[in-house]
Chains A and B, each alone.
Chain A
Amino acid sequence: MSNLLTVSPSPHVHTDDSTRKIMYRVVYAMIPALIWSVFVFGLDALRVTLIAVAACLAFEYLIQKYLMKVTPSVSDGSALITGILLAFNVPSGIPWWIIVIGSLAAMGIGKLSFGGLGNNIFNPALVGRVFMLISFPAQMTSWPSIRSAGVDSLTSATPLGVIKEGLSNGLSVSEISKSLPSQVDMMLGSMGGSLGEVSALLLIIGGLYMLYKKVITWHIPVAVLASVGIIATAFWLVDPQSYVSPGYHLFSGGLMLGAIFMATDMVTSPMNPKGQIIYGVGIGVITISIRMFGSYPEGISFAILIMNAFTPLINTYVKPKRFGGK
């Protein structure tokens, strides 16, 4: 970064930011949630994460070196993030070969086909996740039960899965809530789900660290969470027997993970605050629509991918005012 030619008038402020540094700050921010996932799901979580990271790094190196014939940029940390995010998005009991295929889809299709870091339209980790979700729906939706759930159950549904299932069977919300974890449990991370989505609290802590280090700005996460919260509250107030309380929507599933770590990906999100808010609200609205009316229980990954596609359009229409322009 430092040897770029700077053409703006002086004085200049020099920061020591580099792609590498920013990427590693994101990695630090994910560590609390990673440690928690190992605590909740056991060593399987670590195994899945290591395989995903190794596969992403290996595919980036191999494809760049032998197919694209460019100097591999493995050390910039972006493939490392993709690997961890990919692992965060799968159940811990997933077979190793599925993660490898998912990593290939993430790096090969999601990132390098577009030309590598900075050129990809879609978030690579989400491309990998959606690829796996559509390809291996059975394995991607059998979540191992968490420690506190007792030994007799091998698999457990996610809270969102339980809600969807219950509502489609015509049960009322109060009947369904009996089989749901409490909202405090969900907040802290005692629920079934993918590796990285179980503890909303630790994800928020990671997000605050990134905010403090100026890796992300508040606009996207707040816009996503606020729009989901407001829409969920509105439906809940109108008919509390058919729509669950907004707390379930905010703290369950991958919403926090998506809003804080995946929607904020610098490459695939709009550049200025106004655009970021449009983008965030779009994600929130699509997510809640899929959760309430779609056939999948969770929709954040589809929502982010759809809004990724709109990012160039948003960037075109929401430009910052040029200095001196009207």
Chain B
Amino acid sequence: MSTATTTITADAGAAPRFDAKWLIIAVCVALTLYLAVVPLGFLLWQSFFTPQSAAKAAVFTFDNYRQAYGSEETWTLFLNSLQFATGASLVAFVIGTALAWMNERTNTPFKGLFFALSVIPLIIPGILFTVAWILLGSPKIGLINLVLQNLFDTEAVFVNVYSLWGMIWVDGLHYSPVAFLLMTAAFRAMDPALEESAVMSGASVPQVAARITLPLVWPAVFATILILFVRAIESFEVPALLGLPVGIQVFTSAIYQAVHRYPSQIGLAAALAVTLLLITSVGVYFQSRLSSQGSKYATMTGKGFRPRTIDLGRWRYFTTAIFLLYFLAIVVLPFAVLLWSSLQKFYAVPSMEALSRLTLDPYRTILSYPNLARSVWNSLLLALGSATLVMLVTSVICWIVVKTRLPGRWLLDNIASLPMVFPGLVLGLAIMILYLYLPIGVYGTIWIMLIAYVTRFMPYGLRYNTTSMLQIHKELEESAAMSGASWFTTFWRVILPLLKPGLLAGWIYVVIVSIRELSSSILLYSPGSEVVSILIWELWENGQYVELSALGVMLILALFVLVLAAQWLGRKFGIREA
């Protein structure tokens, strides 16, 4: 029998001692609400006002909405965006999930290294990744086309990145690590007995994957697709670099244009962004419906669950082939392009002539860059700080959402998820304006960037944690309470270690995207608080591609080591694999 409920066990009445639980919960909830509601308020408020300038004060208006949704053009853009986002999120999901499944649930050879390798695409800055693909897949100069044309002696164009499919492919590939990390966390906390019993019932390996594994991690699947979709619909680089030349414009370009006018039409941008807000809210609502079915997805019970892999037999050569293909397409090719160009004086297609010009100059330039050490230090502090803070705070939020029956927890989930859709520009602006007027001394310091990062990446942390939290059976927690552990001890010594798969994956994700974060950093940094992403952007703006490639190569290597270290640390604490 199951009376599926966890009561918040409060000390009403005779409570002689102070319980740290409520303090921690209150601080986390307050922090989340504060961080999320400020930009939300700013966004909604702005959407009802005309732009403010010295000549004209802002007045209340519905015009932003009329302008945003009254024109047919918006709907065309919106339709383009939908197609692109659907395609890109599905590509990323399928690739990421397949890899995660092979990595976590099967005995594919050499998989040990792949976890760290799989996140490399995420480390490559978006602009670089896209440019690398232009150099690979352009119909005129793309290496892939050139090689194939030589091979078959034709003029035919084999691949063309300047198309909707090209955009979907490049963006999907770039963000497949998001799906990989999320689904890895989900698969890792799954009792293999559930799969084994399907194998015993005569199901083939693909049948097990499709009929047992996926449905069991359905909340994670949903969370992953949601997060990928929203991110893709908000993405800017790929549509700008690949879509524009062939006239495919997306929703975000309308937001971008609105902001880049004079006076800046923040209100119009906000009104447009409200659609993204609604899409996310609906998504989060359905997600929370899944979460409330709670125990249904608790695959990690206290019953000697032992993460084990299934034997693929001969199929594992096939999966190895897929792995190799993936690494060729998503890691080796772009990385090789980067490495190649980082050894050049200027960007050039590989040739014997260019080979004779190999140089280490770009690395020298980067290493002698002013403020390099400070930028790296700041970025490191911010990335580690925001990742740790985000994962810890959202683990508490996620516990409230998944494990309690508090009224309004759906709203908490939703509010904490909304920063995901604030255009980075608007978020940066909202935070800047708030702390300009709020005299608590964070403006102009590194702290304001920490606030921005935590706000921006909180929703991602929440999704990563939810994925794992749903899988933890409530009795694992209750047995700690019965052992006399306080809420805090239970949380620290039982929940967090069990949450490790999601916690670690989310932490790695936030570290990487924090180092890359630009759209709000660029407005909020100050002399003295420069970060690496500013440097990346700087090099790009200056046309110093070769130096940028050199920085990219170093960044990939450094983060690769960091990911390996995190993985190693993660293995020391938490569930050990058999």
- The answer on A and B forming one complex is no
A interface with B by C-beta (< 8 Å): none
